[in-house]
Structure formats: structure tokens, C-alpha cells
Homo-oligomer: A and B are copies of this chain.
Amino acid sequence: MGETFPMIGGVSEYSYTKNSTYQKQASNAVKEMIDEAVVESLDAGSTSTKVSIADLGCSVGPNTFFTVQNLIEAVQKKRPSETLEFQVFFNDHSSNDFNTLFSTLPPERQYHAAAVPGSFHGRLFPRSSITVAHSSHALQWLSKQPQGAPNEGRVHNRGAPEDVVKSYSDQYEKDLSCFMRARAEEIVKGGVLVLVVPGTPDGVSHSDHPAGVMFSYFGHSLMELANEGVVDKEKIDKFNLPIYAPAMGEMKRVIENNGCFSIEKMELTDPMSKVDGPIDVANLIMHMRAGLEGIFSAHFGDSVVEKMFAKISDKAQEISHFFESGFSKSTQLLVVLKRK
């Protein structure tokens, strides 16, 4: 199992629970597409009224609860004449704050809830026991830091040398292959696997999504701290943020190599299509902090990370200008697969 850096648990100011509306908006942008795709594709379990749904990389809610409710409604739309019984498995690393997840479960839920701890790069469920599996904003996490040449003051593959970029894509393919192999065993014939991941349009460099831009500001801010003598430059060179946004072609290749699923839908979408007005950068920084503070702190220590976020916040206006200058918005990849 790889290293794990859970989202910030609990319900405090910097918690994921309080800072996940960005992910919610991004999910809303594909909600109807998922709904339609599940209704069209699902072709499983007609001999049983029991439907098992898994959300892989669920974090601590509330987004996972909306997602699961959408999936349940889609399945009910597909099989309207039956009284179905739903069991929902919320999965994340065992260090995830499941206590908070359980204490915020919707009281009026119409399903049996269960939590499954463990890495989704390995097996989590018995063979052929899952009807619909879903993973949103989770598969971009690599199971470990890509190991390559020093990354020259960067913390990511944006603008990095060729061999750094390659070590990222190699690790992603390895991880995704493990993920697909496990899901192929767990999902029933005719069952559906829905993936929502940050994606990069084919032929475009890995820099063109808001997260990529943000990551380069993380690097800039750390380098400023290095110049001020707060942190060693060597320490920055050794750090590669284990997050990757694949091109569509990369994703497709791994799925086809696996061979157990047919591709029902695969398209790049705009995660902010349901949002009016410009991106709220201060808010976006808070969101990234909820998700990323843990991994930066483990490497650089709390006090450096505190200063890094302060520097990034100072650059909010500059970042806003960058976002307004316009670049590819198709940065969220939606993939719907059916188990053959």
C-alpha cells in the first residue's frame, strides 16, 4: 500500500467537510451525464433486488452523499417497477475520518451504509459483488511520489523536464492498471464503473487546468521561501506532489489493456460549467489547503506550509488575472465503463 495523506477530517475551518464546494460544483457539472449513462449502460443484477453501490475515495462528505443519492436515483429510473434494496459502501484509506463520515450520514437515507477502509489500488470487495462503482476526484492521487530526476524547484510535472513528466505518467499507468484489475474482479457482469478525474486534453501540455496553475504557484512560493532561507532548495527538489491529470489517450490505453470493460462514454468536460462569474481564487486556495495541507506538512513541516499558504494568498490577484486570460476549460474527464 502506498503513502496516505487524508483530507483534513472533522468539521473545523480548514476541514474538507467545510471546504469541498469546488468538488461539489465539479460533480454537478457531470451529474446529468452520469445519470443518463448509468440508465443507458447498467445491465446487471436483474435476478436480485439487492443493489450494491461503492464510492471509491469518498473522503468525509458531504459530496459523497449527493453522489450516492444520484446513483441510487439513476438505478431506480432504470428499474422502476421493482422494490430495490441498496447497500452503499463508502471507501477511502483507513486513515480517513470515518467517524465524521458516519456522524454526518443523511438521517433520511434509503440505503444500508457501510464503510470500507483501504487503498482502491487493491481489492476491497468480494468477487462480483458490486453493481455500480464510482470514483470522483480521487484517482488523480498517485500511490506514491514519482521517483525521478530533481524537479528544479517545481512541486509538480507542470513545465518539468521530460523525465520528470515521464515518471509521473508511468506511475499513473501503474496505479490505474492496479485499480482496473481490482474493479474487474469486484464488479458484476453488466455492472457500471463511473470515473471522474482531472484530465488533460490530448496533445496539450499538462499545465492547462486550474490545479496545474495553482501547483506552479505552490512551487514559486516555496522557492521564495528558499531564497529567504526558510526552507532548503534541495528539499523542494526532492518533493513531487503525487497528483496527475491524464490525457484521454493514456486513460483509454490502460482501460483497453485491462480488457474487461467496454467504454460507454469518455469525454472531457468543464468542471465549472454550472458556475456563474469568475473563479473565487481565495476560496479555491482554501479548498486546495483542505486537500493538500497534510502531504506538504509531512515533507516540509507545519510552519513552512503555513508560510507557503500565506504567500499563495498574497498572489490571489495575480492568479485571478491568469485564470481570466483564458485557457482550456475541458479539464475534467468523465469515463463510464460497463463490465463485459
Contact-residue bracket for chain A: 20 to 34
A181 to chain B, nearest CB (A): 16
Q: Which DSSP category, helix, strand, loop or mixed, fits chain A's interface?
A: mixed
Chain B, Cβ-Cβ closest to A116: B114
Decide: B94 and A127 in contact? CB cutoff 8 A: no
Q: Report which A residues bind B (CB closer than 8 A).
A: 49-50, 85-87, 89, 94-95, 97-99, 102-103, 105, 112-118, 123-127, 129
Decide: A127 and B85 in contact? CB cutoff 8 A: yes
Q: Please measure, in the bound complex, the distance between the C-alpha atom of A49 and the C-alpha atom of B123, giving whole angstroms.
A: 16
Decide: B87 and A98 in contact? CB cutoff 8 A: no
Decide: A113 and B102 in contact? CB cutoff 8 A: no
Q: Please measure, in the bound complex, the distance between the C-alpha atom of A114 and the C-alpha atom of B87, giving whole angstroms.
A: 12
26 A–B contact pairs at CB < 8 A?
A49-B127, A50-B126, A50-B129, A85-B126, A85-B127, A86-B126, A87-B125, A87-B126, A94-B102, A94-B103, A95-B103, A98-B98, A98-B99, A98-B102, A98-B115, A102-B117, A105-B117, A112-B123, A112-B124, A112-B125, A113-B116, A113-B117, A113-B118, A114-B115, A115-B115, A115-B117
Contacts of A85 in B (CB 8 A): 126-127
Q: Please measure, in the bound complex, the distance between the C-alpha atom of A89 and the C-alpha atom of B49, giving whole angstroms.
A: 20
Q: Please measure, in the bound complex, the distance between the C-alpha atom of A113 and the C-alpha atom of B126, giving whole angstroms.
A: 10
Q: Please measure, in the bound complex, the distance between the C-alpha atom of A87 and the C-alpha atom of B54, giving whole angstroms.
A: 15
Contacts of A89 in B (CB 8 A): 114
Contacts of A118 in B (CB 8 A): 113
Q: Please measure, in the bound complex, the distance between the C-alpha atom of A123 and the C-alpha atom of B129, giving whole angstroms.
A: 20
A157 to chain B, nearest CB (A): 32
A145 to chain B, nearest CB (A): 23
Contacts of A123 in B (CB 8 A): 112
A188 to chain B, nearest CB (A): 12
Q: Please measure, in the bound complex, the distance between the C-alpha atom of A87 and the C-alpha atom of B87, giving whole angstroms.
A: 14
Q: Please measure, in the bound complex, the distance between the C-alpha atom of A103 and the C-alpha atom of B127, giving whole angstroms.
A: 25
Chain B, Cβ-Cβ closest to A107: B1
